[in-house]
């Protein structure tokens, strides 16, 4: 038989799945009809197609028999509509702030996304529209069934309150180290070799020089930073020993919200400066607590590097694409990249931006310094631009205005 057909990619081949499912649709039918056509599965090996006269195929309409392709006889002219195999990515902690934005960035880039979250600090509403699997990263049995379906990992699931880590380090080492190592071993056992890690500038501690480069000594000053550094070290060791390719993204102060206003910063409790400043600008919000106004900075308040969460999400997609594009002979097993703007803003500058965006004054109270707070933390983002082709595009006013839209949207939903 002779004809023209369209084969639509349904499931890509991955290191853990050696079958590619295609949808066969005859092109010479008069009308599009769901009852016309059938699914085929091409079975092949990691090194190439199966042996024999051609790849084996099976009709997946209930018949599991595998036949060589030439068993269908004749000559086929195939129209290939897409050459891209869109990969499936597992996002641990994808119901959290940064993870939920990364999920949307991945979907816009054409990836399939599966979110895995125990919802201990995440929110179901931030995962709306995605497949959400509720589970803990320490649950190896449950995790393994999910890992068999994906091609790469983005790991966000971590406790992330600096103050809490000082008072309860056990909680941080159990989750950010012990459970994360369980995840890493499960990933390795499943055959996945691409891993993007949500790290932090807290691994640097109090830097001796500014701006902070990737070569700045890693000397964390709290258990949270120590737990992140431990996992970074594990990724480096697994890269050298097992060929796991990873990208460790050390980002600075994530802020802002998705431009749609559908998702944004949502923490309980909230400890970040911009949302707390926005709350302090509302009628019922508590006054903002400013810890220290006598630092060696132009206005006496701490200076930090604020990065829009959507820029951050874009960097994660670029990191994944970088790992995908590497060839074995040129691969660096584990890379670390700072994600920041290279421009710092003081607490008082943030307050001024919030007052401009909201049209309201920010009520505040000056308190004494908190132990361990550096005066200035600013990234050198040159490596991110050089390696990933990434620069932060959104400025402070966009960060604050998007956060304000999200807060207003969330308030309206809560009132309804």
Euclidean distance between CA atoms 24 and 308, whole angstroms: 43
Catalytic residue among 224, 238, 306, 345: 224
Euclidean distance between CA atoms 399 and 308, whole angstroms: 6
Q: Is 97 a catalytic residue?
A: no
**Catalytic residue ranges:** 224
């Amino acid at each position: 038989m002779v004809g023209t057909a369209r084969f639509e990619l349904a499931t890509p081949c991955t290191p853990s799945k050696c079958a590619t499912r295609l949808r066969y649709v005859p092109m010479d039918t008069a009308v599009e009809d769901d009852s016309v056509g059938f699914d085929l599965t091409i079975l092949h090996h990691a090194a190439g197609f199966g042996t024999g006269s051609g790849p084996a195929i099976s009709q997946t309409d209930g018949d599991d028999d595998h036949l060589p392709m030439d068993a269908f006889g004749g000559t086929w002219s195939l129209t290939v509509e897409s050459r891209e195999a869109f990969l499936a990515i597992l996002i641990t902690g994808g119901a959290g702030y940064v993870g939920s934005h990364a999920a949307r960035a991945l979907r816009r880039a054409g990836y399939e996304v599966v979110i895995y979250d125990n919802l201990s600090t995440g929110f179901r509403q931030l995962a709306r529209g995605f497949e959400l699997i509720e589970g803990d990263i320490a649950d190896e049995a449950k995790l393994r069934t999910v890992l068999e379906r994906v091609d790469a990992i983005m790991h966000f699931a971590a406790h992330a309150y600096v103050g809490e880590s000082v008072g309860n380090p056990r909680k941080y080492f159990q989750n950010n180290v012990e459970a994360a190592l369980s995840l890493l071993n499960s990933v390795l056992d499943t055959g996945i070799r691409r891993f993007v890690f949500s790290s932090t500038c807290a691994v640097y501690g109090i830097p001796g020089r500014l701006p902070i480069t990737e070569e700045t000594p890693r000397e964390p000053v709290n258990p949270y930073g120590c737990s992140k550094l431990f996992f970074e070290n594990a990724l480096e060791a697994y890269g050298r020993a097992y060929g796991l390719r990873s990208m460790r993204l050390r980002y600075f102060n994530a802020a802002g919200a998705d431009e749609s206003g559908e998702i944004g910063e949502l923490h309980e409790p909230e400890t970040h400066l911009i949302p707390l400043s926005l709350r302090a600008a509302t009628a019922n919000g508590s006054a903002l607590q400013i810890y220290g106004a006598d630092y060696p900075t132009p206005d006496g308040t701490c200076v930090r590097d604020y990065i829009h969460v959507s820029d951050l999400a874009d960097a994660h997609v670029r990191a994944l694409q970088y790992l995908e594009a590497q060839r074995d002979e040129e691969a660096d097993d584990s890379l670390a990249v700072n994600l920041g703007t290279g421009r710092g803003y003081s607490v008082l500058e943030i307050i001024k931006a919030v007052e401009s965006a909201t049209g309201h004054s920010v009520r505040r109270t000056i308190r004494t310094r908190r132990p361990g707070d550096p005066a200035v933390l600013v990234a050198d983002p040159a490596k991110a631009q050089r390696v990933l082709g990434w620069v932060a595009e959104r400025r402070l006013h966009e960060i604050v205005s998007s956060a304000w839209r999200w807060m207003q949207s969330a308030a309206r939903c809560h009132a309804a």
